[in-house]
Every structure is written in C-alpha cells, then in structure tokens.
Structure 1
C-alpha cells in the first residue's frame, strides 16, 4: 500500500461547469473520478450561473454534491464555492472537459505527504479532436489549450504554479489566502487567466518554506475541440494571456520581476530552442508544416508580448477586471 493511502488525509475533488454544450465531457470527467484507485471522499460539482444545467446535474449525479456558484460569475468564483463546500483537507480541481487516469488522485496526493508541499500540479495531455494536433501547433504553446507544454521541469520539481485543469491545494492554505481572486479568471468572451498563478504566489509568499511541485505521473486528458485548433483561437488566446500577465504584474507590484520569471525563461530559452528544432526538423523532413511551427512560436510570442503591453497601458476598470471585457457566458478553458 502506498504512503498516500496510509496518510489519512481526506481528499475532495472540485469540478466546475457552466455550459450544457459540454454535457458529455462533464459526464466523462465525473465517471473518471469514480474509477480512481484512490476514490475521493467527495466530489463537488459547481454550476456557474446556469439554472438549467444545475437542475439537470442535480437529477443526473446522485453521488456528487451539486451546488450553485455563490460568488461572482466565472471560474474563480466557482472554484471558491467548490473548495468551501468540500469536506477534504486536500482539494483537487479537475476541469469539466478533462478525464483523469486511474491513479490521478493517488499520484496527486503523494507529494503532499511532505508537509512543506502546499500544492501539486498534474500533467495535462491534450485530447485533440481529430486525433492529432495541427502540424503548425507548437508543443511549447500547449498552454494555449490548457495543457502541459514543452519546457516544464522534471517530475517532483518545484514549480511556480500548476495548470488549472489538474491541480491540488491544501484546504487550509486556500482558506488562509482567501481563495482565487475575481480580478483574474475566465469570464465573458475574453479568456483572461493567471488565477492559478496568482493563488500559488500568494500561498507560497504567506508560507515561506512551502512549495508547489509538478507530478508528471498524475495524468489527465484535456479535450481540445476543433474550434480551439485554429490560428484565430491560438493568437486570441496568446493576446489575452499577455493581458492576464499584465494584470498579474500590477497585483505583484515590486515583486513582478520575480513573479514573472517563468515567462521570461520560457521566452528566452524554451521558445528559441523550439524554433531551432522546428527549422531543423523542417529541413530534414522537407516538411512545410515544421516551418509554420517555427513561425507560430515567433508570432505567438510577439502577440503575447503585445497583449502584455496593452494590458499595462490600459489598466483595469471597475471591479479590477480588464477594461473592455465582456461579461457574458463564462469562457472556462
């Protein structure tokens, strides 16, 4: 029996949903939690301001605690509602369009046997509609579709923040820092993110010896529909990631240089390496798609930098959210 099964920690899993259009994906996500080698004590499904989906979920999922988002519409408020309704001393978060491999819960819990570990990031693999990624789509930009990307450190290494589709935090740490901020997180038709980054930075700042680590063996498969495999989505997501980083930088203040060091290292090291590999691959394979992949890396970086510059110039509007953001149906990624 593994250490995590002897630890006695109770674990809850929170899933947030907002659209009936992802019903099949939601059912698959919840089914994957029923088949875990380490079954969670409870699963909390938070419905984000969609009464029809709430009623349908309440009738369909008898073994799941179904609650309405009690906070501001959006992923941050839904996650806050979820962890506050959960019973476990550890809370795992799984996206509603992701499915967890059988040992996901067990492998997410294992690093938390170290009392200094306050958070864990799982490894998120893209499940491409059609079976494979477009030839021009660089692995270094898999974060665009909410997945793990080339450039992440080795297994059990310390990371700044997890990817939201598969992450875990200690419940007392979440409560102590006030949870996710509504200044960040997806809402409306603009995919503003970085709420996980902001949360992890606040938790580790408050607990100087604490760490967030990467568990590469805690695998989930994140659905990537065809509409997220287009150049339009790619560059739109890059732009709003830049805007999100600008909001985060303002929140960090004098700590922005340190807090955004991961992005700087990724831009200065991983992306140039990726471009070089793509060019060499294009030459050896005589493949035009590899040339496009190199171009996508360069353009993606430029668009992200442009979004960051615009975010710094524009500032924020009422409620702290990015000026010009449309408040409509939540656009959880």
Structure 2
C-alpha cells in the first residue's frame, strides 16, 4: 500500500497482562500477515510497565504505548487510536487471530462515505469442547458472532471492539470510547455498543457488518461453564440499563427488544421441537439455557434500575 493512500489504516491492540503473552503474539503476527498492509500496528499496555518493556523488546516494527488514561479497555484503546494519523483505525483484542483478508474485506464498505464504521465475523476458538447446552443464539456471551446477526454484508446497529474499524474523523468527533465506561473487573458495560450509537447519531452515518472479514476469538475453558454464562448475562443486563441512561431519550434499545421478542423465542421453540422429535435431549438443555439467560439478564437489569432509583433518591430526595 502506497503511503498517503485513502485506505491507510492503523491497527490498535490493547493488552494488560503477560498471562496473555502467547495469544498477544498470535494477534500481532496476524496483524502483520494482512494482505492489505497496515500503516502502523500499535500495542497499548494497560498500566503494566514491565509488560510494556517486554513488548518493546520482543515485537520489532510495532509501536508500543502505555495507557494514558484510567485503567480499563476504553482508555487503552483511546490511547492507541488518538496516537494514529491514518484515515481508518482498526481494533483487535489481544486474544484474537485475524484472517489474512480481514482488513481488506472490512475496509471495502468505506467506499460509501456514509459508513462510519464496520465490524466482521468472530469465530470461537474453544479451549475446551463447546458445551452441548450452549445455543447459537447465546454465543455473544463468549464474544463471538451468534444466530440472529446478518449472514451477508449488511447494515447493523453496532459491532464489537474485538473486530472493529472506524473512520478516524468520525471517531475523534465523538471523543472516542467513553472514559470510565467499559469492561473492568466484574463490570461488563458495553462500551463498543455505546460508541457505535454515538458515532452514528453524531455523524448521521451507519455501521456495516461484514461476516466474511473474520477473526478467531479465544474462548478459555473457564468461559465454557454455565455459571460464567449466568454471570455474563446478569452483567449484560446491568450494563444495558447503564447504557440506556446515557442515550438520548429518542433512542431506544431496538436491537435488544427484537432479540428478546423474536430471536430467543424461536430458539426455545426450535430446540424444544428438536428434543421432542428425538434429535437429542441436549436441545432441551439449550431451550432451558435460553430461559435461564433471559432471567439472569432481567435480574441484572432490575438490580441496576433499582440502584439508579435509590441513587437518585439519596442525591435529591426525589425519585
């Protein structure tokens, strides 16, 4: 790719712990191996100076930065993104491996100037066997593409930061990821969804999903348990209520409502039908898992709603 090309792109990879060193090495290698060569690969280390030094020593040709903001993925990504100067900024997580044509495929929709960002397909790389009780509709809980998403290139409300490319001017216009809002510890606030909504609202643009522009996303064994799924759904319920509180009043969580009203009921019905026709009793487990997941998310949403009510009461004496 010639310098100054209109499709120049930088890749930002946030990281925070040497426990992921092997997976980070695979991510960086896949970034270097793109058919559409990146102008710059930036690894941003989250408040871990020793790891930052090791990255500098062991990854030649990579720009290494340290998170300039509060600990967390949002500040980490912003540090890298604000450093870049290319028209496009791509984001990968440090536990992913991009397919060779990932960048090329995902940059294509930007030929339309109304596109402010794109996302691609995310394939699970299970460390253990995939649980038989896990339905395809709940694969979002382990950070991968799920049933209900488009199967061909199409507009979409939001994509995930593990596999995202943004138009730099649109990203900067909204100040990047929201500081203090994101995944940290046991909090699981959807900072990528919130960013997508702000960017499309501010610029009047749209997001495109390119399922063929794939990455593999590691799913460690501890995320293959029923307990993890319930905790993840509970946290998602809380996070979506928090996000709704940041959105303009005229914006609704339409995608979530459609998912709850259409996608999940079909999943329950289909799996019960499959179990009833002798296709395997694990289908009954999948139907029960969907019901449990909805209950966990509803519980989390209810807890967050009550917390907001009580917080409002304590600060101004009214509800």
**Same fold flag (TM > 0.5):** yes
Moved more, 307-316 or 97-106: 307-316
In structure 1, the partner of 2:315 is none
In structure 1, the partner of 2:160 is 163
Q: 1:6 to 1:76 in 2, by over 3 A?
A: closer
Q: 1:137 to 1:152 in 2, by over 3 A?
A: same
Q: Is the 8 A contact 1:235 1:300 kept in 2?
A: yes
Which residue, 88, 103, 110 being the options, matches 2:86?
Answer: 88
Moved more, 115-124 or 247-256: 247-256
Which residue, 197, 202, 222 being the options, matches 1:201?
Answer: 197
Matches within 5 A, 1:195-274: 195-208=191-204, 210-256=205-251, 258=252, 260-274=253-267
Matched, 1:192 2:185: no
Note the C-alpha offset of 1:7.
6.2
In structure 2, the partner of 1:330 is none
SS in 2 for 1:214: strand
Note the C-alpha offset of 1:183.
3.8
Structure 2 CA distance for aligned equivalents of residues 183 and 143 of structure 1: 23
Matches within 5 A, 1:135-150: 135-150=132-147
Note the C-alpha offset of 1:281.
2.1
Q: Deviations over 1:100-136 (max 9, x none)?
A: 0010010111111111101001110111113x41000
Q: Is the 8 A contact 1:148 1:163 kept in 2?
A: no
In structure 2, the partner of 1:49 is 47
In structure 2, the partner of 1:172 is 169
Q: 1:255 to 1:311 in 2, by over 3 A?
A: farther
Note the C-alpha offset of 1:147.
0.8
SS in 1 for 2:184: coil
Q: Deviations over 1:196-245 (max 9, x none)?
A: 1111111111112x110101110000000100001111010101111110
Structure 1 CA distance for aligned equivalents of residues 310 and 89 of structure 2: 32
SS in 2 for 1:13: strand
TM-score computed with the length of structure 1 as normaliser: 0.89
Matched, 1:29 2:27: yes
SS in 1 for 2:213: strand
Structure 2 CA distance for aligned equivalents of residues 317 and 33 of structure 1: 47
In structure 1, the partner of 2:282 is 289
SS in 2 for 1:315: helix
Structure 1 CA distance for aligned equivalents of residues 28 and 11 of structure 2: 10
Which residue, 112, 120, 123 being the options, matches 1:122?
Answer: 120
Structure 2 CA distance for aligned equivalents of residues 192 and 148 of structure 1: 18
**Aligned-pair Cα RMSD in Å:** 1.9
Q: Is the 8 A contact 1:184 1:244 kept in 2?
A: no
Structure 2 CA distance for aligned equivalents of residues 52 and 239 of structure 1: 34
Structure 2 CA distance for aligned equivalents of residues 307 and 194 of structure 1: 14
The number of residues matched between the two structures is 310
Q: Which runs of 5+ in 2 are unaligned?
A: 312-319
TM-score computed with the length of structure 2 as normaliser: 0.93
Which of 1 and 2 has higher RCO (CA within 8 Å, sep 6+)?
1
Q: Is the 8 A contact 1:126 1:223 kept in 2?
A: yes
